[in-house]
Chains A and B, each alone.
Chain A
């Protein structure tokens, strides 16, 4: 692999010292400083007795006992696991519970997982450490942390971020398992004292400590009070894979029953006494300001109580949502355009192309002399330009956040990806101290990157609105607000050039790409090519670029894997075999690629007009290869007939859920490939709802998706994001195979039409 930034480090053992490595981002050094001072993150966390005391105060209710913040055992044997990660549908809570309960030898039927309070005592040391040990995965997340949070990091590493497919990889492995294992040892010691037998004679199973010789046993609930007072070890021995009872097993998700009977309460569902509902219209052109608004037409609508002017938006507060919406629609606010009134998707594209051709790169990565490779005698040069549009997250639950300002404190309720940063942002926007902000995390109806607090203006909006009304107020964004004021996957352009040697091998590879942020540190380049150069040209439109499920790996999956297909064609080789020979012999990548070819029947005949496409992408520590079989419908649009995915994420914690995550990611990748596009006209977003922002529906999703996991035992990789990136190029490549049309601009729509 020419440039795989993943260091060969193991995050399994809590005591692993932090190693210095090159190329780490500046802020991560700050994190690293904190880590090194503490001599290992878990040590810092472990020894923080005041944090543990605080966690006890926040969670214990009388007949239960907290262990190390993240676990509580009640006298009736109920084990409560407090997850510092949010679950927005990716199954994290179940996985956290499985990992802790397995090490604890708990009876799974008595295990509950709850969202940890947004408090420093539940902060996630393991995440920061995991990030530091493999910074390839989420510098975007870490870089975006506000300074106040970074300052807290320097003290005690408190992170509650959910993102970068990090929960299982870092928190689960370095945190949950250790807490469970350590708790188990304390329960054994307590039982040994009570029974007057050596600890070595005791075993554990199903939430009981058993003394086989005497036939006596004690329930965890009976032992909890004493065990919780014991001194716990920070580095217990963890189970080996052969002894897992829950890890790796298809455990049903704990949240699903409440999601089929309507009882699950999402942020938008909150009801409080005297609560009012507000809705908002922000400046249509991002960067614009509210110039003026006549409030009277809204105030004339039944139920409307107040119109609030923000710097760049107008808000209507009413008793009910429908009243607030009617009030808002009665207004004719005037907004400025921030000087962006001439911007369109096409002017953005033209500026990006020009920058790429005549500008200076912001950064360059890769090894080897690409220009020499291009100039070598007999080199065959291939070029291609690609383009992707802004993409909207389209989480099904529109933003909703409730705020109540009372007695100098602001309390918030809603679903956001990082509770602690939410508090920080609310503090800044409200002018209050972070200690005067309480945040109650709720279930999220999707996220996909949209709910990171650093890109979430609704926090500022609620912080300001709540201080102007004497009652709790729930701000609900309409779908139109949601679509038009997104923090999109960036519109991006790229220009690729490569040289092929006489043996059909790639000798040089250059990728010039234009977007706001660098993709380095996140996008893993997997091919074995002697000279590689990736140059980032920085372009910022008026839009607020944000992380979108699998982040830069989406557009780079499309770019790299489309271009590999084009090179295979130029070399006169089969796309699978061509990729294969550029992946190291014996590598996990090659094994994944071979398996997807085998399972999909690669190379077997297909009917006329049907094609197979293949693509392989490594992201968030997981390698995924996908094959898509597709044809073109009468209207020229793609019809995906079947899809295969082969995944190496090291170990699957819950295969049932992992399969759903990979299949869901694959479908989201197809959706974005086929029809999704945010366009800009006069500086504003053109689309407004699901009638013009086109998402895939059941009829267009492949009825069968074959997902297969290779249990390589390698370091655990993410599962929420990596299924997405290969799907888009696999479909584009399938259409090429079916029609001979190479589509280089997304979305595909009817470009393959005959």
Chain B
């Protein structure tokens, strides 16, 4: 059975069983492998995408529920001319990724947070950014989110100050 949806602005028709999680549709049918498999139970957030603008852990949403909806993945964040999203740019400037595997999901979560709040507080960052990063990049994730929302002054740029939070 073919199911129609929109992915990164383009209409697609997917031939897959209706219970196939969106994650595997993206990765295996559409070969958009930037969205990662981490746990399969919506516990880690590596598979985070936006569905009709809502932050969604794609490993736990069946394809049937996505019919007619619009999905944005990490590959679809940059603008048509290839310019990176401000959050992606902040991620590079703060040198966030280590192994990088969770970072697509972290960035999608951060973009959703910023779109929702405009300029999130530390508490909002704590509540929303529940994606797991085993490398422990959390301080730089926080810094990048603050920088992307114009709060860069509060967070010292690591390039300028290798010892973070140096007094």
Interface, chain A (partner B; CB < 8 A): 88-91, 250, 252-253, 255-266, 268-269, 271, 277, 302-303, 320-323, 394-398, 443-448, 476, 478-479, 599, 652, 655-661, 663-668, 671, 689-691, 695-699, 701-709
Contacts and interface: CB of A to CB of B under 8 A. Distances in A.
A708 B166 contact: yes
B118 interface: no
B41 A396 contact: no
24 contacts: A260-B103, A261-B84, A263-B75, A266-B33, A320-B16, A322-B20, A322-B24, A322-B28, A323-B17, A396-B36, A396-B46, A396-B99, A396-B134, A444-B99, A446-B135, A479-B39, A689-B41, A690-B38, A696-B136, A699-B127, A699-B129, A701-B136, A701-B138, A703-B142
- Of the listed residues A257, A445, A655, A665, the one surrounded by the most CB atoms of chain B closer than 10 A to its CB is A445
Interface residues of B, number: 69
B61 interface: no
Interface string B73-113: 11101100000100010011001111111111001000000
B64 interface: no
B98 A707 contact: no
Contact of B159 (A446, A656, A699): A656
B167 A321 contact: no
Interface in B31-71: 31-41, 43-44, 46
Nearest to B33: A269
B76 to A, nearest CB: 9
A667 B136 CA distance: 6
Contacts of A394: 134
Given A260-B92, A479-B40, A668-B136, A446 B162 contact: no
Nearest to B145: A698
B163 interface: yes
B92 A252 contact: yes
Interface in B123-167: 125-127, 129-142, 158-159, 162-167
A443 to B, nearest CB: 8
A657 B158 CA distance: 10
B115 interface: no
A443 B137 CA distance: 18
Given A262-B35, A701-B138, A705-B139, A659 B162 contact: yes
Interface of B: 16-17, 19-21, 24, 27-29, 31-41, 43-44, 46, 73-75, 77-78, 84, 88, 91-92, 95-104, 107, 122, 125-127, 129-142, 158-159, 162-167
B132 A89 contact: no
Contacts of A252: 92, 95, 159
A190 to B, nearest CB: 36
Nearest to A657: B95
B23 to A, nearest CB: 9
Given A260-B91, A262-B104, A695-B134, A322 B39 contact: no
A753 B65 CA distance: 44
B127 to A, nearest CB: 7
B101 A266 contact: yes
B136 A89 contact: no
Given A261-B34, A262-B35, A396 B102 contact: yes
Contacts of A667: 136, 138
A134 B118 CA distance: 53
Pairs A-B, 3 closest by C-beta atoms? A262-B34, A89-B99, A445-B101
A94 to B, nearest CB: 10
Contacts of B133: 396, 698
B167 A263 contact: no
Contacts of A395: 99, 101, 134
Given A321-B27, A697-B131, A706-B166, 5 more contacts: A89-B99, A258-B100, A668-B136, A690-B38, A701-B138
A89 B38 contact: no
Given A478-B40, A663-B139, A664-B135, A704 B165 contact: yes
A332 B134 CA distance: 33
Nearest to A90: B98
A485 to B, nearest CB: 16
A261 B96 CA distance: 13
A698 B129 contact: yes
Contact of A322 (B17, B43, B139): B17
B132 A697 contact: yes
A668 B135 CA distance: 7
A707 B131 CA distance: 24
- Of the listed residues A91, A265, A444, A704, the one surrounded by the most CB atoms of chain B closer than 10 A to its CB is A704
Contacts of A660: 95, 98, 137, 140, 158
B69 to A, nearest CB: 19
B17 A302 contact: yes
A445 B92 contact: no
- Of the listed residues A321, A656, A661, A696, the one surrounded by the most CB atoms of chain B closer than 10 A to its CB is A321
A459 B122 CA distance: 44
Contacts of B125: 698
A259 B166 CA distance: 27
Contacts of A398: 37-38
B25 to A, nearest CB: 9
B99 A697 contact: no
Given A397-B36, A689-B43, A262 B165 contact: no
A268 B32 contact: no
B88 A261 contact: yes
- Of the listed residues B34, B78, B135, the one surrounded by the most CB atoms of chain A closer than 10 A to its CB is B135
A396 to B, nearest CB: 4
Nearest to B156: A704
B97 A445 contact: no
A104 B79 CA distance: 38
B43 A690 contact: yes
B95 A663 contact: no
A255 B91 CA distance: 12
B44 A690 contact: yes
Nearest to A258: B100
A264 B138 contact: no
Contacts of B29: 320
Contacts of B96: 256, 260
B31 to A, nearest CB: 6
A261 B77 contact: yes
A709 B164 CA distance: 11
- Of the listed residues A260, A262, A398, A699, the one surrounded by the most CB atoms of chain B closer than 10 A to its CB is A260
Given A261-B84, A262-B34, A703-B122, A698 B141 contact: yes
A660 B77 CA distance: 26
B28 A320 contact: yes
Contacts of B78: 261
Nearest to A264: B100
Contacts of A89: 97-101, 135
